[in-house]
């Protein structure tokens, strides 16, 4: 009994001792097992071109990056609580001035979410720097450069080329500032053209200085102007002038982030939605099925109720008539396509409002008027809010003016209420290459549409009268849409181009902002509450080229099958000419492939601001 009692006492003592020391061991074990907290950064590439819509290629829609797609990705990152910050690698930004401003506004919203934002540059010009400057910290590599040299507008004139080819442009214009004919009839700007372009560039340059000043601490507009006049800058100079915060290579930046968070494990990851696509193995049946699946992705399920819907209709590119273009795969706007889109939005009871996104320099006056009619009919049924992109001028403004509300960026190129028309006299070129024509005509104006001569006096008189009628109709409809008199609109029309900020002051647009602003206004006008879920229906639906070809074959089974001319638009040789090639195609589509003298409302030059 004594031994048993001793054992029991011993066991009790050991038990008490174990209980006493076990927390210490547990704490030590826990300290060894618990990993440090993770601080996650996302590496986000921001560069290239961001368009409103994807272009249609031969097999499917292309991999064009869209503005809405970019904003969706940023919203996903902003809502992710596990992300501490984002490193934006900015390079090769190629967007219009208004699109740049819209992206910059979105980056400001992202920064306000409290996440750390870092702009990383290997080098950069105006566009790259303005995006990077929207971040908390701007990092430039030690061997990089900052090419802040101001803005310039370049207008290409074709008269010298036409003279060498013995082609005469017989053109007329309505509006003091309607300079559309000048690139074809002059080798430089008229005084009116120069006045209009200078005023346009003045406003855009002022916005550039304001953006730089507001982005850098203790920077004034005057100081920003002095810096622009001193550019471009080496990396060391950019640092000394406080245009950037640090000079680091990317690996040095990552090391710096890790050293700044000693108690946390810093990880830099790619966004969750980025996944690498493997090229299908075309030697297997499974690979072929994978290719077909990639070319025809499944439709995403819609969210929200059937009643809470807003139609988002895009009009991107020049406005052309409804005829078979040689280059249908190029992004263009036609009455037939827009008519289908607006009819769908107008007759669908689930659609409560329409946002009409326009990024177009204009084009055919007749085609513009047909689209205007569809906008007006829709506005009578439900709210239509226009969102102007980089440019909504001439015909681009024409198709907007029937909407109840017009929203533009401060840097949108708009206005240009005016018309011009005419034809190309090809007689000299024909004769130069050994071709001649004999014309037998009955009727005083029978040769009006012939390319083998200029206008006669009576023909010119008729063309002028037709153009005056179109111009006055343009001004009248703009006055009705803006609730102004004919005289008030005529004074600010005359073919003059304005920025969105200038247009707002003149009453040509209602609000300044981007697509998000237009969607918010449409939502309010449709009667939705701020927290209501709204489903967007994007129109017109884009279809792969082969799908369009099959549809055409079904509709016309008796026609012979020919090699599609549209394929030439995607030829890599033509792509090197960029926007100049597209401009030439637009010009030929308007003036070269129809038996008629076109009256157009278009900016026939590309305003490239760098």
C-alpha pair distances (Å), 14 with each of 9, 17, 23, 260:
9, 5, 15, 47
Handedness of CA 77, 82, 84, 86 (dihedral sign): negative
Coarse DSSP helix, strand, coil percentages of the chain, rounded to the nearest 5 percent:
45, 20, 35
Residue 540, both tokens:
């017109």
Decide if 413 contacts 391 (C-beta within 8 A): yes
Neighbours of 143 (CB within 10 A): 11
- Tokens 């290239």: give the residue: 48
Among candidate residues 389, 391, 356, 385, the one with its CA nearest the CA of residue 514? 389
What is the rounded distance in angstroms from the CA atom of residue 104 to the CA atom of residue 102?
A: 5
Among candidate residues 62, 525, 602, the one with its CA nearest the CA of residue 366? 602
- Tokens 């190029």: give the residue: 330
Name 384's Cβ contacts closer than 8 Å, sequence gap at least 6: 353, 354, 355, 356, 375, 378, 402, 403, 404, 405
Choose, from 394, 416, 450, 589, the residue flagged as catalytic. 394
What is the rounded distance in angstroms from the CA atom of residue 268 to the CA atom of residue 263?
A: 16
Whether 331 sits among the annotated catalytic residues: the reply is no
Strands 413-415 and 497-499: antiparallel
Catalytic residues: 394
């Amino acid at each position: 009994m004594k031994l048993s009692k001793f054992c029991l006492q011993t066991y009790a003592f050991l038990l008490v001792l174990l209980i006493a020391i076990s927390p210490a061991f547990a704490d030590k074990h826990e300290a060894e097992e618990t990993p440090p907290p993770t601080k996650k950064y996302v590496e986000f590439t921001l560069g290239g071109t961001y368009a409103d819509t994807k272009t249609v290629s031969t097999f499917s829609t292309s991999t064009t990056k869209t503005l809405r797609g970019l904003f969706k990705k940023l919203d996903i990152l902003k809502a992710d609580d596990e992300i501490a910050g984002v490193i934006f690698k900015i390079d090769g930004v190629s967007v219009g001035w208004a699109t740049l401003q819209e992206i910059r506004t979105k980056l400001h919203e992202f920064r306000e979410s409290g996440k750390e934002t870092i702009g990383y540059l290997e080098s950069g010009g105006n566009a790259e720097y303005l995006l990077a400057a929207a971040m908390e910290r701007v990092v430039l590599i030690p061997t990089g450069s900052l090419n802040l040299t101001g803005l310039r507008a370049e207008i290409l004139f074709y008269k010298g080329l036409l003279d060498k080819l013995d082609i005469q442009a017989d053109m007329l214009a309505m509006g003091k500032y309607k300079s559309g004919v000048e690139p074809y009839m002059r080798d430089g700007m008229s005084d009116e053209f120069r006045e209009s372009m200078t005023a346009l560039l003045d406003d855009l340059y002022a916005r550039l200085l304001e953006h730089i000043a507001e982005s850098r601490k203790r920077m004034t507009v005057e100081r920003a102007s002095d810096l622009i006049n001193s550019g471009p800058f080496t990396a060391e100079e950019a640092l000394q002038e406080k245009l950037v915060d640090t000079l680091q290579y990317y690996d040095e930046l990552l090391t710096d982030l890790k050293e700044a968070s000693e108690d946390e494990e810093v990880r830099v990851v790619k966004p969750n939605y980025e996944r690498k696509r493997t090229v299908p193995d075309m030697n297997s049946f499974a690979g072929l099925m994978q290719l077909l699946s990639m070319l025809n992705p499944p439709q995403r399920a819609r969210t929200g109720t059937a009643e809470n819907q807003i139609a988002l209709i895009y009009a991107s590119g020049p406005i052309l008539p409804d005829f078979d273009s040689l280059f249908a795969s190029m992004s263009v706007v036609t009455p037939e396509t827009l008519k289908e889109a607006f009819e769908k939005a107008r007759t669908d009871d689930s659609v409560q409002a329409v946002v009409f996104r326009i990024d177009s320099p204009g084009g055919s006056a007749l085609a513009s008027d047909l689209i205007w009619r569809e906008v007006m009919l829709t506005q009578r049924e439900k709210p239509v809010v226009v969102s102007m992109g980089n440019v909504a001028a001439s015909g681009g403004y024409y198709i907007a003016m029937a909407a109840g509300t017009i929203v533009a960026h401060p840097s949108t190129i708009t206005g240009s209420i005016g018309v011009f028309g005419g034809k190309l006299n090809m007689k000299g070129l024909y004769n130069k290459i050994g071709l001649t024509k004999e014309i037998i005509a009955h009727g005083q104006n029978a040769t009006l549409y012939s390319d083998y001569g200029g206008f006669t006096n009576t023909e010119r008189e008729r063309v002028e009268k037709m153009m005056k009628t179109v111009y006055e109709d343009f001004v009248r409809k703009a006055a009705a849409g803006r609730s102004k008199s004919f005289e008030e609109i005529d004074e600010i029309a005359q073919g003059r181009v304005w920025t969105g900020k200038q247009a707002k002051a003149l009453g040509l647009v209602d609000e300044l902002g981007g697509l998000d602003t237009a969607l918010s206004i449409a939502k309010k006008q449709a009667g939705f509450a701020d927290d209501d879920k709204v489903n967007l229906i994007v129109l017109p639906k884009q279809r792969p080229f082969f799908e369009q070809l099959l549809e055409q074959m079904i509709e016309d089974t008796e026609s012979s099958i020919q090699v599609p001319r549209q394929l030439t638009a995607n030829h890599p040789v033509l792509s090197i000419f960029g926007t100049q090639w597209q401009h030439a195609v637009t010009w030929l589509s308007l003036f070269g492939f129809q038996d008629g003298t076109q009256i157009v409302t278009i900016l026939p030059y590309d305003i490239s601001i760098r």
